[in-house]
Structure 1
Amino acid sequence: MKRIGARAHDYGTLPAGDLAATLQKNGFCCAQVALNKAIQGLDLKPGDLNPGLAWQVGRGFADHGVQIAVLGCYINPVNPDDAQRGELLRFFKDHLRFVGDMGGSLVGLETGTPNVDYAPDPNTGSEETFQALVRSIAELVETAEACGAKVAVEGVVSHTISTPEKMKRLIDEIRSPAMVVIHDPVNFINAGNFEEEARLIEEPFQLYGDRIAIIHAKDYTVEGGEYKQVATGLGRMDYGRLCGLIAKSKPGISVLLEDSGPDVVDICHAHLNKHWPS
């Protein structure tokens, strides 16, 4: 029941069929696809995505047996500029409306910072920023519910949703099955909390395991107090713990490699195979 995929643009920016063929040759059955980053010739803006383009992209992947597990649309949902945020939400809604034409249902985003440049901001952890996020996600979920799609939210330690507890609070505030979670344990880890790795891997399964729809897989190192994200198998994360939880509680879920291009793909596959329960 193991399903391993990749972030598509780690394997180039190509026509959809060529990119899917490349992913399939590298041992992947599914992918996260950010259209402007992954598909050659695209520079989509709000209002540009349409059924014909969506069908072409979806067909290119389907012809090679690669599922579009999630469309990446990594806008900043707490951008403090009302006009900019409105256009970003509109762009995300385009993806929600047309993801079904690509054979998928999930559109993914991170939770941002209250800065127009998406830069680190001291107010990221504030209640005001959390409530701004709730308003944006609620608006996106309303569109998702109307068109049978899902908003897939990914936490990051430096963003508005910085801990599993905050993700649970967001789920409780939104109260809709059209909001699901991308669980990337490395995103919750930094140089200050890496010794709590086991908790940060396990706690999301305990708090909101029913909402976890996608797993992101990468790794990290901490050397001389410096934290660095690396490809799966090149770091210190306990993949035995993560793979055991996935196999037990989320069989068949798409596990998508990040920061893991063709130069390290064999290492990544071997590492997952080594730690996946038989």
Structure 2
Amino acid sequence: MSINIGIRAHDVSEHTFKHLFSVTANYGFNNVQFAPFKFLPKELIANSSRYSPGLLNDIDQKFRHAGVRISVLGNYVNMIDYENSIRNKNLQSYYDSLVAERFLHAAVVGSETGSILSPNGYSPHNFTNTALLRVIDSVKQITKTAEKLGALFAIEPGINHPLYDNYAVRRVLDAVNSPNLFVIFDLANLISKNNYKDQDTILTEAARLYGSRICTFHLKDVDFMDGKKVTVPFGSGIIDVERYIDFINKLKPYTFATFEATKENDLDNAISVFRKADKQATTRIKALQ
């Protein structure tokens, strides 16, 4: 197996470190995507202002003891909120998370780009040039801090957000032009009822336009029910798993990739589907060596 698979921490059934690490140990996961505000009790950390060196060190020691790496430190707050007071507060959360990245030895701080509406609601205004310029402005501010700290920041595309296709991603990367800016790639996020048959085109475009900037991947699946896109456990939807895993292996062998929105009772099947596709992909790769 040439991909380091993991899980999103807040997808486990019990939000305690004891239970999380029992799941990682049981399945042999060596990394997790960890969003503190979604996993830890609100009484402990409702927002980034509650971070302290002592708290972060305590969390870091728990991960080290379990032998688990934080592949993505999630900070999913809206960086382009129309209300500037909210937007500025959220930008501060990114700065705080970049500091936390260093304490927690996380690989990268990751986030979607958010929505013009609050909180993160769908809006056709997300697909305007104005929205994309707002993303560029926010990402420039975040990466400026990342560069000062020696930290890494990654944006995640999605069809309901300003980074709704591969070309929008490339535009942001070019405009920000920071060595500390990367991309979290999730094929399911870029799928719609209009393009789900064109998955190979989406992957080929991504590799050509910004493949070198992808730092980690999500393993998620989707389907369409009553005309609406819904998230389903990995391997049970319309994602071409074999093609996706082959894409990951060729582009970034040994990368971190985390199951997303796959609950514990669906992990056995998801891992079985992944391993079958990964075995086929690595066999093809070895044949080329």
Please indicate the TM-score interval, normalised by the length of the shorter structure.
over 0.9
- 2:101 maps to 1:94: no
2:13 and 2:263 in contact (8 A); partners too? no
Corresponding residue for residue 151 of structure 2: 149
1:17 and 1:64 in contact (8 A); partners too? no
C-alpha separation between the residues in 1 aligned to 2:237 and 2:276?
15
Deviation (angstroms), 1:53 = 1.1
Root-mean-square deviation (CA, aligned residues, Å) is 1.5
Give the direction of change, closer, same or farther, for the CA distance of 1:151–1:5 in structure 2 (3 Å limit): same
Unaligned runs of 5+ in 1: none
The secondary structure found in structure 1 opposite 2:110 is strand
Corresponding residue for residue 236 of structure 2: 234
Instruction: Tell me which moved more, 23-32 or 147-156.
Output: 23-32
Q: Of residues 57, 72, 75 in structure 1, which corresponds to 2:74?
A: 72
What's the TM-score once normalised by structure 2's chain length? Answer: 0.91
Larger helix fraction of residues: 2
C-alpha separation between the residues in 2 aligned to 1:227 and 1:194?
11
C-alpha separation between the residues in 2 aligned to 1:115 and 1:224?
26
Question: What are the superposed Cα offsets for residues 87-129 of structure 1, whole Å, 9 maximum, x if unpaired?
Answer: 0010111110121111113111101111122211121111111
Deviation (angstroms), 1:20 = 2.6
1:80 and 1:116 in contact (8 A); partners too? yes
C-alpha separation between the residues in 2 aligned to 1:135 and 1:183?
21
Question: What are the superposed Cα offsets for residues 232-269 of structure 1, whole Å, 9 maximum, x if unpaired?
Answer: 11112111111112212201100110011111000111
Give the direction of change, closer, same or farther, for the CA distance of 1:251–1:96 in structure 2 (3 Å limit): same
Instruction: Tell me which moved more, 195-204 or 17-26.
Output: 17-26
C-alpha separation between the residues in 2 aligned to 1:93 and 1:18?
30
Corresponding residue for residue 160 of structure 2: 158
% identical equivalent positions:
27
Count of residue pairs brought into register by the alignment: 278
Corresponding residue for residue 121 of structure 1: 123
The secondary structure found in structure 2 opposite 1:157 is coil
Corresponding residue for residue 135 of structure 1: 137
Unaligned runs of 5+ in 2: 284-289
Which amino acid counterpart does residue 35 of structure 1 have in structure 2?
P
C-alpha separation between the residues in 1 aligned to 2:108 and 2:48?
18
Deviation (angstroms), 1:223 = 4.8
1:8 and 1:23 in contact (8 A); partners too? no
C-alpha separation between the residues in 1 aligned to 2:134 and 2:225?
36
What's the TM-score once normalised by structure 1's chain length? Answer: 0.95
Corresponding residue for residue 255 of structure 2: 253
- 2:12 maps to 1:7: no
C-alpha separation between the residues in 2 aligned to 1:134 and 1:99?
22
Question: What are the superposed Cα offsets for residues 157-197 of structure 1, whole Å, 9 maximum, x if unpaired?
Answer: 01011001100110001101111000001100111221222
Q: Of residues 67, 79, 85 in structure 2, which corresponds to 1:83?
A: 85
The secondary structure found in structure 1 opposite 2:238 is coil
Which amino acid counterpart does residue 160 of structure 1 have in structure 2?
P
Instruction: Tell me which moved more, 155-164 or 19-28.
Output: 19-28
Deviation (angstroms), 1:17 = 4.9
C-alpha separation between the residues in 1 aligned to 2:131 and 2:221?
29
1:58 and 1:68 in contact (8 A); partners too? no
Corresponding residue for residue 38 of structure 1: 39
1:216 and 1:257 in contact (8 A); partners too? yes
Q: Of residues 171, 174, 177 in structure 1, which corresponds to 2:173?
A: 171
Which amino acid counterpart does residue 159 of structure 1 have in structure 2?
H
Question: What are the superposed Cα offsets for residues 44-72 of structure 1, whole Å, 9 maximum, x if unpaired?
Answer: 32422121111111111121111100111
Corresponding residue for residue 244 of structure 1: 246
- 2:102 maps to 1:103: no
C-alpha separation between the residues in 2 aligned to 1:23 and 1:11?
10
